[in-house]
């Protein structure tokens, strides 16, 4: 993700919330008293693909493990030394990490010197904890800060070896009293590691329970690794978040990265989980346990009903390993790596269709970055190796359309028409890949992240010193709710305009049906103390409307992150307001929906700021200002669907005139709204924002749209 917002994007991925920009007085023209809307069902566009509402996920700190995976213990393979307090060196190592993303640490039980990290034949990784015993006094390790639910069962296992005659206990502790715990005991330890299962039932709930491993006797014992999960996990995944994500009908998930990917070896992410070595992620400054790898991600996709879209490591990775990754995922059992997949419990090929070569290779923040002139050679080499393993796969090139925000040095003083200043230069990453990698991709990717309360001032940027950072070109702005909601849709609109320019430069793009995949994007606020609110939901409704206007070439998109649609704690989850928007659109605009022409008597206002940077030549939206609309027929043409976003705090009316089909009966309405712009949905609180369904009454062509609402109307077509 873009360096200038990577830190903010991380917190958004962790669903820590957003703060909306302050209110401003509108500088836009007043709308007509009644907006006249025309729909012509005879004028249609390319049907929407099943991949319009996809999701993205990567390992960022414990994001995957706390949102999707059921493991309750951090650092279960003991990557970090076990000390009474974290060493200063480790604190410095994590300084680039994000608040709220820290891992819980193991602490000694008994004298700290009795716990050492033994590097002689470790069970997994570089060392395993060795605990010296002290007779009848317990010695061991403990991890606090675990959440448990009253009456819930928890299962796990531990790998142990030790001096014969020693005994080890594992204990789940949920309170201060002597009875606020349950213990499982293991004796008969030997000099070889053995696996011991256990099961607990919490007699009370706690957000600060602890898991303790202690031993008594003489000599010592070693802990290889340990796992604790709720007994109701589904193949290792959380049933609550899985059930919610399945309702989004996302089409696909892009995984496993992300910046994380460029230093990750897929070889370490397959095979028995307990023996996969923990690794350090230098992109996000965090340890990764490697429990959720390729096979687990394929299980996740099956559980939530989506297709996988895999990005291969083109940072520190190489073409040979990428080709072998394709063979592992898609090869028959008669191939070497297909046979390895079968030994790992998955005999049937996964038949992964979509593959992305590299993540943001243009970025200075990316591990293994190379210049464009070298990267195109790498892309072609990767494509050849991957297609050799499976000629049927669909390859995507990691593109980046040039933006004045990305210009440096003397280039800042050139034309700011979004693209022409850098066409054909090393800054034009997408153009370079089209020119030098032709035939080795079917789609090209684009990532974007937008922040509220700011804009890129191209005139200011031109006056900056040549060595000034890009961030210096941004200025703060006050935004009305409508301006706040339109801003990210304008980013989509800008890239759509730029793509048309590529089609002019390279006519074969359209002839060969090369598509655009916006497979990372998010709208970010300025604070992270609250979850997304209704104001953010309005913005996402306008984002999806704008994307659906370009189904002829925008065939895939993936929101960052998939779990950013949820508000979750360690023990519960609900949809947040953004999740409700994706659920509404995923339910109503099903794959194959046919966009139809929509006209109006109220065009969007002209840009408030000079064109360039993050301001396209025209504002996004339908000619129904201040409402934003999109219309489509269902694939069977039995219904006409109409999405309407009202991002103002005023009710607005429209008259509807439909040509090409005849409507029958009263329309149904699904509506997202709340008491005010700051309404949120949080775990443990009554929902402030909901999807409600109603049947409209009254005139068949006159409608009133509630303030601050996202609406989808369904009209039955008389056939």
Q: How many residues does the chain have?
A: 719
Give the model confidence (pLDDT) of 616-662 as tens digits.
889 999 999 999 999 999 999 999 999 999 999 999 999 999 999 99
Predicted local distance difference test score (pLDDT) of residue 98? 53
Give the model confidence (pLDDT) of 375-407 as tens digits.
999 999 999 999 999 999 999 999 999 876 666
- pLDDT for residue 146 is more than 60: yes
When pLDDT is averaged across residues 675-699 and rounded to a whole number, the result is: 93
Predicted local distance difference test score (pLDDT) of residue 1? 47
Candidates 390, 392, 491, 492; CA nearest to 442 is 392
Q: How confident is the model at residue 85 (pLDDT cuts 50, 70, 90)?
A: confident
Under CATH, which number does the domain 3-28+48-68+235-590 receive?
3.20.20.80
**Of 203-217, 404-418, 494-508, 689-703, where does mean pLDDT reach its minimum?**
404-418
CA gap 434, 512 in Å, rounded: 12
Tell me 78's DSSP state.
-
| Helices 534-548 & 481-505 angle (0-180, nearest 10) | 20
CB 513 within 8 A of CB 460: no
- pLDDT for residue 117 is more than 70: yes
CB 156 within 8 A of CB 186: no
Whether the upstream peptide bond of residue 486 has omega within 30° of 0, thus cis, is no
Q: Which residues pair with 381 in a beta bridge?
A: none
pTM greater than 0.85 (yes/no) = yes
Give the model confidence (pLDDT) of 430-478 as tens digits.
999 999 999 999 999 999 999 999 988 878 887 888 778 878 888 999 9
Task: Name the burial class of residue 479, with classes exposed (0-12), middle (13-18) and buried (19+) by CB atoms within 10 angstroms of its CB.
Answer: buried
Domain boundary assignment for the chain: 3-28+48-68+235-590, 88-230
When pLDDT is averaged across residues 82-89 and rounded to a whole number, the result is: 73
**Of 80-84, 125-129, 273-277, 409-413, where does mean pLDDT reach its minimum?**
409-413
Predicted local distance difference test score (pLDDT) of residue 313? 97
Candidates 398, 405, 392; CA nearest to 354 is 392
CATH architecture type of domain 88-230: Sandwich (2.60)
Contacts of 334 (CB under 8 A, 6+ apart): none
CB 67 within 8 A of CB 241: yes
Predicted local distance difference test score (pLDDT) of residue 407? 65
% of the chain residues with pLDDT over 90: 82
**Of 24-28, 67-71, 553-557, where does mean pLDDT reach its minimum?**
24-28
CA gap 299, 308 in Å, rounded: 10
Q: What is the pLDDT of the chain when averaged over all its residues?
A: 91
């Amino acid at each position: 993700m873009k360096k200038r917002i990577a830190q903010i994007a991380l917190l958004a991925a962790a669903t820590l919330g957003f703060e909306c920009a302050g209110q401003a007085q509108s500088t836009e023209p007043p709308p007509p008293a009644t907006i006249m809307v025309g729909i012509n069902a005879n004028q249609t566009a390319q049907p929407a693909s099943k991949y319009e509402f996809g999701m993205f996920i990567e390992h960022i700190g414990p994001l995957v493990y706390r949102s999707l995976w059921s493991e309750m213990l951090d650092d279960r393979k003991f990557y970090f030394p076990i000390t009474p307090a974290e060493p200063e060196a480790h604190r410095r190592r994590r300084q680039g990490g994000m608040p709220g993303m820290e891992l819980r640490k193991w602490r000694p039980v008994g004298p700290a010197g009795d716990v050492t990290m033994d590097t002689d034949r470790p069970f997994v990784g570089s060392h395993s904890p060795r605990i010296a015993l002290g007779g009848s006094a317990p010695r061991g390790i403990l991890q606090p800060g675990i959440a448990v639910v009253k009456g819930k069962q928890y299962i796990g296992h531990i790998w142990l070896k030790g001096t014969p005659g020693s005994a080890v206990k594992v204990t789940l502790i949920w309170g201060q009293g002597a009875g606020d715990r349950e213990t499982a005991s293991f004796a008969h330890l030997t000099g070889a590691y053995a696996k011991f299962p256990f099961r607990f039932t919490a007699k009370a709930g706690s957000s600060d329970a602890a898991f303790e491993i202690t031993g008594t006797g003489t000599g010592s014992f070693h802990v290889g690794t340990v796992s604790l999960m709720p007994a109701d996990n589904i193949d290792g995944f959380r049933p609550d978040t899985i059930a919610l994500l399945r309702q989004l009908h996302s089409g696909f998930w892009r995984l496993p990265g992300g910046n994380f990917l460029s230093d990750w070896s897929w070889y370490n992410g397959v095979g028995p989980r307990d023996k996969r070595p923990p690794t350090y992620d230098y992109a996000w400054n965090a340890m990764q346990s490697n429990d959720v790898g390729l096979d687990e991600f394929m299980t996740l996709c099956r559980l939530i009903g989506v297709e996988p879209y895999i990005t291969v490591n083109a940072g520190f990775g190489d073409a040979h390993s990428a080709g072998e990754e394709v063979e592992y995922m898609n090869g028959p059992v008669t191939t070497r790596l297909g046979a390895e997949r079968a030994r790992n419990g998955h005999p049937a090929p996964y038949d992964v269709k979509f593959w992305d070569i590299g993540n943001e290779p243009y970025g200075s923040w990316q591990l293994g970055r190379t210049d464009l002139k070298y990267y195109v050679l790498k892309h072609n080499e990767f494509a050849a190796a991957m297609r050799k393993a499976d000629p049927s796969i669909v390859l995507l090139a990691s593109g980046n359309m040039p933006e004045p925000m990305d210009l440096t040095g003397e280039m800042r003083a050139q034309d700011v028409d979004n693209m022409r200043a850098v066409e054909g230069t090393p800054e034009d990453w997408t153009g370079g890949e089209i020119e030098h990698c032709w035939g080795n991709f079917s789609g090209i990717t684009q990532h974007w992240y937008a922040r509220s309360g700011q804009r890129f001032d191209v005139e200011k940027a031109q006056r900056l010193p040549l060595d000034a950072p890009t961030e210096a070109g941004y200025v703060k702005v006050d935004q009305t709710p409508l301006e706040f909601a339109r801003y990210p849709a304008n980013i989509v609109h800008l890239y759509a305009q730029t793509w048309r320019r590529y089609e002019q430069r390279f006519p074969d793009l359209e002839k060969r049906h090369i598509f655009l995949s916006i497979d990372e994007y998010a709208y970010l606020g300025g604070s992270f103390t609250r979850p997304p609110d209704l104001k953010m939901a309005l913005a996402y409704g306008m984002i999806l409307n704008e994307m659906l206007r370009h189904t002829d070439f925008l065939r895939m998109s993936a929101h960052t992150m998939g779990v950013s649609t949820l508000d979750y704690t360690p023990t519960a989850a609900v949809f947040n307001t953004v999740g409700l928007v994706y659920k509404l659109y995923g339910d109503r605009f099903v794959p194959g929906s046919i966009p139809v022409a929509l006209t109006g008597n109220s065009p969007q206002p002209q840009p408030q700021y000079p064109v360039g940077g993050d301001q396209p030549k025209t504002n996004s939206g339908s000619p129904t200002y201040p409402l934003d609309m999109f219309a489509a027929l269902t694939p069977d043409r039995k219904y006409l669907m109409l999405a309407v976003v009202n991002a103002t705090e005023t009710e607005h009316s429209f008259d509807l005139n439909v040509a090409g089909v005849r409507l029958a009966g009263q329309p149904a309405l699904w509506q997202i709204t709340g008491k005010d712009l700051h309404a949120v949905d949080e775990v443990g609180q009554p929902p402030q924002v909901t999807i409600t369904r109603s049947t409209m009454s009254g005139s068949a062509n006159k409608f009133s749209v509630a303030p601050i609402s996202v609406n989808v109307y369904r009209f039955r077509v008389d056939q």
